[in-house]
């Protein structure tokens, strides 16, 4: 029984990182109504910036974390400028934006491949102290505690920005109606840029956390996360903040439990099967109809 | 204050405005009346920068604002209360009002709390409902919220697109009473209204827009007694008025 609880705990930690990744993904969908398929590449660059800040510049991890968030945020704004804004200005269909974001993702990955010489990098030994605690018979590492704490802080920060600041109000206004927002004096393109920055910063944070947790940073690391992030936001409901959080946690726990008790080969089949089931039974996701107030998506 | 000259706009490939010229002097209340589809909303949206004209100019306070994007036009104090009210439904009444403050931009950064109070004293119902979702209000209350939201931006010119559309006669009267109060305070207003009787009764000057052209203009009182206007727009049994 302890083993089950141990795995649920591990799944919770992993799920938190999925949630962090998915939050930025769902935020862009909620505000701009497009899927940013370059989100995985932004995440990967966040991991690299964090890594290089530690290895090349020799700076402490918390600096790397902030640097990764800023850099990934800026890269994400760049993705908006290159892949989305020109198409939006022309009034192209949403499908075109999906294709162009795939294109930007490929370019970002090629650049990372060149920069990393196709190698898998690791954070140097001792970047993060390896300490374990025993709580009620469960083994909890300091790393897990820090991961959960960072996720909690970042989610609180995101909710604070969205629901308690003028910028957050403007983001939600743009999500509901771009025209009304513009008539109120809101610069819609600036708000789009801000949304991409926040989304990218969250992805960058997730990149560093996952890079450390799995001790591996490479140019392809974003792809599986993009696919999983997709499942997570479908589980939770596209554009729903609560949904991305809950979806991430559920995904992490189901994945961890199915790897532990069934087989790792089967876990993806279970997770994607879960996605099909949700699409059939509740196409708007688990939180589609419920938490309307914690939803940025237009109606 | 507002000078529109030879404005022409095509919308979805159809020419909706064919050279519209009008002016709104400071402190006046001007109406644009005309049938459905005459181009009234297109005119306001072109002035607001939502639509791009292919000819003509819009000058506001002497400055050319013809090709300015909508949010910059709004920040100059040229504010539109759009047709259908366009309340941001999931946001609270107060949040809707606070968003309205953005349009104030660099103009008069003082007295932040006073604006909310001023709107609440004009529309007390909004104070009662301030924590409620904007979308939960009735149509008339939403219209008040939309006007209040625009007032938060301290409009130099307030443009209203069909403020009585879909409202009960009692609600419509309340909205027009509020506009009369604003006018008495010196607010410059450009009113687009399908209900010509009500529009002509409450404004100083009026333009008649038909098929994208101004076909008649004059003091509102004069137009209200013009036989052609009466036969076209002021039928004896006007069901929409009461």
Examine residue B106 and state whether it is found in any structural domain, yes or no: no
SS3 A89: helix
B77, pLDDT greater than 80: yes
Examine residue B6 and state whether it is found in any structural domain, yes or no: yes
B100, pLDDT greater than 60: yes
Tell me what pLDDT residue B109 has. Answer: 58
Higher pLDDT, A289 or B57: B57
Tell me what pLDDT residue A89 has. Answer: 85
Question: How far away is chain A from the Cα of B106, in angstroms, using its nearest Cα?
Answer: 12
Tell me what pLDDT residue A22 has. Answer: 95
A298, pLDDT greater than 90: no
Mean pLDDT for the stretch of residues A163-181: 94
Token output for A38: 């370059």
* A296 touches B: beta carbon within 8 Å: no
Q: pLDDT tens digits for A8-58?
A: 999 999 999 999 999 999 999 999 988 999 999 999 999 999 999 999 998
CA distance A41 to A200: 10
| Buried/exposed A86-123: b ≥16 CB within 10 Å, e otherwise | ebbeeeeeeebbeebbeebbeebbeebeeebeeeebbb
Contact A28/A101 with Cβ under 8 angstroms? no
Helix (H) or strand (E) holding B115: helix B112-122
- CATH number of domain containing B26: 3.40.50.300
Examine residue B92 and state whether it is found in any structural domain, yes or no: no
Using alpha carbons, list the distances in angstroms from residue A122 to A33, A97, A128, A207, B37.
36, 34, 12, 13, 66
B239, pLDDT greater than 60: no
Tell me what pLDDT residue A92 has. Answer: 80
Tell me what pLDDT residue A291 has. Answer: 41
Tell me what pLDDT residue A163 has. Answer: 93
A79 CB-side CA count, 13 A? 39
Band of pLDDT at residue A299, cut at 50, 70 and 90: very low
From the list A184, A292, A293, the residue facing B100 with the nearest CB is: A184
A194, pLDDT greater than 70: yes
Total number of domains in chain B: 1
Q: Which percentage of chain A shows pLDDT scores above 70?
A: 96
Tell me what pLDDT residue B32 has. Answer: 96
**Interchain pair B86, A183: CB under 8 A:** yes
Contact B34/B209 with Cβ under 8 angstroms? yes
Work out the number of other CB atoms within 10 angstroms of the CB of residue B236.
5
Tell me what pLDDT residue A263 has. Answer: 84
Q: pLDDT tens digits for A137-160?
A: 888 999 999 999 999 999 999 999
Examine residue B166 and state whether it is found in any structural domain, yes or no: yes
Residue with the two structure tokens 């004896």: B236
Examine residue B76 and state whether it is found in any structural domain, yes or no: yes
Using alpha carbons, list the distances in angstroms from residue A28 to A184, B22, B27, B122.
22, 42, 44, 38
Terminal Cα distance for chain A, rounded: 45
Highest mean pLDDT, choosing among A73-77, A286-290, B3-7, B135-139: A73-77
Band of pLDDT at residue A94, cut at 50, 70 and 90: confident
Examine residue B160 and state whether it is found in any structural domain, yes or no: yes
Range(s) of the domain holding residue B207: 2-86+155-233
Mean pLDDT for the stretch of residues A203-217: 93
A290, pLDDT greater than 50: no
From the list A170, A184, A299, the residue facing B89 with the nearest CB is: A299
From the list A177, A184, A293, the residue facing B103 with the nearest CB is: A184
**Interchain pair B79, A173: CB under 8 A:** no
Examine residue B99 and state whether it is found in any structural domain, yes or no: no
Mean pLDDT for the stretch of residues B166-182: 93
Examine residue B213 and state whether it is found in any structural domain, yes or no: yes
Tell me what pLDDT residue A288 has. Answer: 62
Band of pLDDT at residue B113, cut at 50, 70 and 90: low
Band of pLDDT at residue B105, cut at 50, 70 and 90: confident
Q: pLDDT tens digits for A218-251?
A: 999 999 999 999 899 988 888 888 899 999 999 9
Question: How far away is chain B from the Cα of A204, in angstroms, using its nearest Cα?
Answer: 30
Contact A182/B74 with Cβ under 8 angstroms? yes
B45, pLDDT greater than 80: yes
User: Which positions in chain A touch B82 (Cβ < 8 Å)?
Assistant: 179-180, 183
Q: pLDDT tens digits for A262-271?
A: 888 888 899 8
Best B70, B83, B95, B145 member to test A by mutation, with max A CBs in 10 Å, is B70
Crossing angle (nearest 10°) for helices A2-32 and A188-213 = 160
Residues from B contacting A (CB-CB < 8 Å) are 48-50, 69-71, 74-75, 79-80, 82, 86, 88-91, 95, 98-100, 102-105, 149, 153
A128-142, B109-123, B183-197: the lowest-pLDDT one: B109-123
């Amino acid at each position: 029984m302890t083993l089950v609880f141990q795995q649920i705990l591990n799944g919770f930690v992993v799920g938190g990182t999925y949630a962090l990744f998915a939050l930025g993904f769902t935020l862009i969908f909620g505000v701009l109504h497009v899927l940013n398929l370059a989100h995985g590449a932004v995440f990967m660059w966040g991991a690299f910036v964090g890594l290089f800040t530690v290895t090349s510049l020799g700076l402490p991890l918390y600096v790397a974390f902030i640097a990764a968030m800023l850099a990934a945020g800026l890269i994400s704004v760049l993705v908006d400028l290159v892949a989305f804004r020109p198409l939006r200005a022309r009034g192209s269909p949403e499908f075109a934006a999906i294709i162009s974001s795939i294109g930007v993702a490929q370019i970002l990955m090629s650049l990372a491949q060149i920069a990393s010489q196709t190698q898998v990098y690791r954070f140097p030994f001792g970047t993060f102290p390896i300490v374990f605690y025993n709580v009620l018979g469960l083994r909890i590492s300091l790393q897990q505690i820090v991961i959960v704490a960072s996720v909690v802080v970042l989610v609180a920060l995101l909710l604070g920005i969205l629901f308690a600041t003028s910028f957050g109000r403007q983001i939600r206004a743009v999500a509901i109606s771009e025209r009304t927002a513009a008539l109120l004096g809101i610069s819609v393109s600036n708000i789009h840029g801000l949304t991409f920055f926040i989304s990218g910063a969250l992805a960058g944070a997730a990149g560093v956390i996952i890079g450390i947790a799995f001790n591996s940073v490479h140019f392809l690391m974003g792809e599986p996360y993009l696919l999983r992030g997709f499942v997570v936001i479908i589980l939770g409901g596209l554009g729903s903040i609560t949904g991305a959080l809950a979806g991430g946690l559920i995904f992490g726990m189901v994945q961890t439990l199915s790897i532990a008790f069934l087989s790792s080969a089967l876990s993806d089949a279970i997770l994607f099967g879960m996605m099909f089931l949700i699409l059939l039974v509740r196409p708007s996701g688990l939180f589609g109809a419920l938490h309307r107030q914690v939803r940025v998506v237009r109606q | 204050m507002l000078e529109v000259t030879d404005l022409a706009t095509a919308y979805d490939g159809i020419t909706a405005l064919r050279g519209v010229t009008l002016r709104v002097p400071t402190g006046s209340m001007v109406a644009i009346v005309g049938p459905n589809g005459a181009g009234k909303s297109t005119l306001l949206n072109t002035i607001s920068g939502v639509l791009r004209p292919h000819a003509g100019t819009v000058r506001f306070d002497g400055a050319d604002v013809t090709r300015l994007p909508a949010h910059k036009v709004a920040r100059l104090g040229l504010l539109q209360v759009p047709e259908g009210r366009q309340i941001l439904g999931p946001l609270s009444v107060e949040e809707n009002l606070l968003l309205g403050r953005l349009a104030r931009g660099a103009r008069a950064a003082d007295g932040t709390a006073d604006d909310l109070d001023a709107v609440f004293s004009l529309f007390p119902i909004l104070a009662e409902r301030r924590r409620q979702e904007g979308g939960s209000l009735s149509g008339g209350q939403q219209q008040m919220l939309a006007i209040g939201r625009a007032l938060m931006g301290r409009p130099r010119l307030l443009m209203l697109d069909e403020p009585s559309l879909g409202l009960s006669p009692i609600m419509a009267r309340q909205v027009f009473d509020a506009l009369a109060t604003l006018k008495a305070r010196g607010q410059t207003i450009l009113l687009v209204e399908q209900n010509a009787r009500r529009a002509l009764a409450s404004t100083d000057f009026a333009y008649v827009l038909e098929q994208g052209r101004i076909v008649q203009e004059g003091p509102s009182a004069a137009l209200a007694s013009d036989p052609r206007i009466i036969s076209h727009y002021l039928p004896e049994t006007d069901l929409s008025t009461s």
